[in-house]
A and B are shown apart, each in its own frame.
Chain A
């Protein structure tokens, strides 16, 4: 099984919500890296690696749930769970066929037809699961799961400053630090709250 990649810079003392960004970024990358070759029935380890990556991603999304915007998280989590299910449906016959090949090799002539019948059924199941997986991968691409995962952990966009022409002389603008943190100003208190995305909304 592919080892989980270490999370750069992760420490117990860092803020939970900062750890969420670091961890989800790595686990998302892992998932999409393993997508290559996953539909090749002769490369069964690719499915396994992607399935494990999906589980790891799902687990961290659940773990960091309090740091994430639930409206964004829920559909992502649902799609990751669906992907995990479809990968599991492909993985089960993969493993079974591998074990059955060994079993058939050790069987006597008289036992072989029955085992081959079972292998035939399992192969049909594998083909069907592969077709479902292909469909799911297409859906993920169409829904831009990768982009949505990136948006889930993206910092809040900087609020557009009020156009100079519209601003009254001497009116204070909202300001942004080098780190992207928005500084509260007197004008902010009366303005509509800035639209934020992802995990920052809860902060």
Chain B
């Protein structure tokens, strides 16, 4: 997924003003995946939302403390949490098809062996289906598949809860406000300014 090109950036402008534009664009891109990601089957959308979260997080990581109001730091942590959780969901989405593929490959081998055992018989003797190739692998692979399926569901539930929290806390509006703020002068800076005047 390509990063959205941000318009109006000025190399001679301040870091804060340019970062404000970039963060606003990255934030919009993150929210573009809602409501699609509220359907647990939208694997690709969830993956792309993770990438959008990652882009927003890394820009905030560089700029939030020096360029924006205090809420930007809080938002950085929330985005980081979101990215991590989406990453764990993605891991399940990658691993599960791999387990299923191995099961399918082994199943094909077992069927081919059973067909060989049957030879040219008119019907299949049930006893021939016993102790087929890889039969010792089934239990473990099935356990793994079930584990990943259920874990993915639990992680997805956590994601929806986290997203509700993010929405309830009005992260978008508060971050939009924070990026329009500039850090106030520290007390020592104010004293220095006062004495030099």
Contact = CB atoms under 8 A, between A and B. Distances in A.
Contacts of A117: 102, 134, 137, 140-141
A59 interface: yes
B55 A59 contact: yes
Interface residues of B, number: 42
A118 B140 contact: yes
Q: Name A's interface SS.
A: helix
A63 B140 contact: no
Interface in B71-111: 91, 94-95, 98-99, 102
B14 A66 contact: no
Contact of A118 (B58, B59, B99): B99
Interface residues of A, number: 41
A197 interface: no
B123 interface: no
A96 B91 contact: yes
A154 to B, nearest CB: 16
B9 A16 contact: yes
20 contacts: A12-B15, A12-B63, A12-B183, A13-B15, A16-B15, A17-B12, A20-B11, A23-B62, A59-B54, A62-B3, A66-B10, A66-B11, A95-B91, A107-B143, A113-B139, A114-B138, A117-B134, A117-B141, A118-B102, A121-B102
Interface of A: 4, 7, 10-20, 23, 55-56, 59-60, 62-63, 66-67, 92, 95-96, 103, 107-108, 110-118, 121, 199, 202-203
